């Protein structure tokens, strides 16, 4: 009988755990003690699941590695960020593999979902898992890879409605494993090749990052040429094969990370990519561009810095409570250093986080400001701005 343990209970891990708990005995493991305590009480910091959903599921939440020993299917969804040198930071993955090496049993299955570069599962993860035991992958235990495709805030492409790739080059419980993953996503695209699947994962996001970078560059050039960007794009998109993207601040876990993972392994194999990081260059630059644009507008509106300013939208994406790699948050912190009267507001964040960071919470306080800088346009922010008096000033970034 399959007993599932999901390791890493963030935006990727928790939805998988909740879906599988409908049919299987499940355990959720995370090193964050507070996260575990919250989930036990039915509280989801990211507001993805309501209390009643978490409470009615029979899930064992734990931060003790000893309490997951009885599981026989481990799904790994830990973060794989980049370091200050923009190289892969594999510390979370290394920690998990080392822990698994001490509790792994014969016939256990491990599926990695974390973002990796091509070859990392076989060359990095498996040797670590084999380190503290006499077990051999492919003989005693089995490893696969199923890249996450979670899109926070997207009600159309939820985990259940998307196609999901599963790479598993073994016959052991193959049909059973596919059935397990069929509970997670609408359609399972099966592959026998882990390395090819790892590559597919990163290039999915690199393609989008490059496209957004190109549109951001178009936006900046149109401004320099004093052209109406929106009119230009509407005219261009009248052609049948023009792909319409919007300029913006690119954050989150995938797009700002995956290009560096792919570029890293390319260099290791004596190939310097030319286009892969092109999107990163311009998209990283947007932090400086947007901050400068806001600063210039504020100088014209409030040269004496006497007015109360509210920075609206700190998370990286509309209607999502995710601050990872948020350029909006970065801009807010930078502006606040030079003007202590600037406050932040983000209704997607829970009150605990907002109070800790001295953010505006109530509408009564929200409407007391003079200038509103709109960065991440959450639906609640949009509705609240419409309720303000007409004498208020709204600076809409990238509009």
Active centre residues (catalytic): 254
Asked if 135 and 109 touch (Cβ cutoff 8 Å), the reply is: no
* Helix 194-224 with 229-236: angle, nearest 10 deg: 130
Per-residue exposure over 17-31, b if at least 16 CB sit within 10 Å of its own CB, e if not: bbbbbeebbbbbbbb
Three-state secondary structure call for residue 127:
helix
As given in the structure block, the two tokens for residue 232 are 């230009």
E strand or H helix at 271, and its extent? none
Three-state secondary structure call for residue 243:
coil
CA distance 43 to 30: 15
Closest CA to 109 of 187, 19, 179, 163: 179
* Helix 194-224 with 278-301: angle, nearest 10 deg: 40
Note the residue count of the chain: 399
Count H helices and E strands in the chain, helices first. 15, 12
Token pair 């609206």 is at which residue? 312
Closest CA to 254 of 327, 203, 319: 203
Asked if 104 and 135 touch (Cβ cutoff 8 Å), the reply is: yes
Asked if 35 and 9 touch (Cβ cutoff 8 Å), the reply is: yes
CA atoms within 13 Å, Cβ hemisphere of 388:
19
CA distance 155 to 267: 38
Side by side, which strands form the sheet with 25-29?
A: 59-62, 25-29, 3-7, 73-76, 109-112, 142-145, 163-167, 187-191
CA distance 19 to 30: 17
- The Cα diameter of the chain in Å comes to 73
């Amino acid at each position: 009988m399959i007993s599932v343990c999901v390791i890493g209970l963030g935006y990727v891990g928790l939805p998988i755990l909740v879906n599988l708990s409908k049919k299987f005995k499940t355990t959720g493991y995370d090193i964050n003690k507070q996260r575990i305590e919250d989930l036990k009480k039915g509280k989801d910091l990211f507001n993805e699941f309501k209390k009643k959903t978490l409470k009615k599921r029979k899930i064992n939440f734990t931060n003790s590695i000893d309490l997951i020993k009885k599981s026989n299917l481990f799904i790994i969804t830990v973060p794989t960020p980049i370091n200050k040198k923009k190289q892969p930071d594999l510390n979370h993955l290394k920690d998990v593999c080392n822990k698994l090496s001490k509790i792994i049993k014969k016939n256990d299955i491990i599926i990695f979902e974390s973002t990796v570069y091509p070859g990392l599962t076989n060359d990095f993860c498996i040797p670590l898992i084999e380190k503290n035991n006499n077990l051999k992958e492919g003989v005693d235990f089995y490893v696969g890879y199923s890249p996450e495709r979670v899109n926070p805030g997207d009600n159309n492409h939820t985990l259940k409605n998307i196609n999901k790739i599963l790479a598993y080059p073994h016959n052991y419980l193959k049909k059973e494993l596919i059935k397990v993953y069929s509970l997670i996503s609408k359609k399972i695209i099966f592959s026998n090749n882990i390395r090819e699947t790892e590559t597919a994962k990163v290039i999915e996001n690199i393609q989008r990052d490059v496209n957004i970078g190109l549109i951001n560059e178009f936006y900046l050039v149109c401004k320099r040429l004093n052209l109406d960007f929106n009119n230009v794009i509407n005219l261009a998109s009248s052609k049948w094969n023009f792909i319409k993207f919007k300029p913006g601040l690119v954050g989150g876990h995938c797009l700002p990370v995956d290009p560096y993972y792919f570029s890293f392994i390319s260099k290791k194999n004596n190939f310097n990519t030319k286009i892969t990081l092109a999107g990163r260059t311009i998209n990283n630059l947007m932090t400086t561009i947007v901050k400068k644009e806001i600063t210039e507008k504020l100088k014209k509106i409030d040269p004496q810095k006497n007015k109360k300013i509210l920075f609206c939208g700190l998370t990286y994406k509309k209607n999502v409570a995710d601050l990872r790699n948020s350029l909006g948050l970065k801009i807010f912190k930078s502006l606040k250093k030079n003007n202590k009267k600037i406050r932040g507001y983000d209704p997607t964040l829970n009150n605990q986080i907002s109070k800790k960071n001295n953010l505006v919470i109530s509408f009564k306080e929200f409407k007391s400001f003079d200038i509103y800088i709109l960065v991440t346009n959450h639906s609640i922010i949009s509705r609240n701005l419409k309720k303000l008096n007409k004498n208020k000033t709204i600076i809409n970034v990238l509009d």
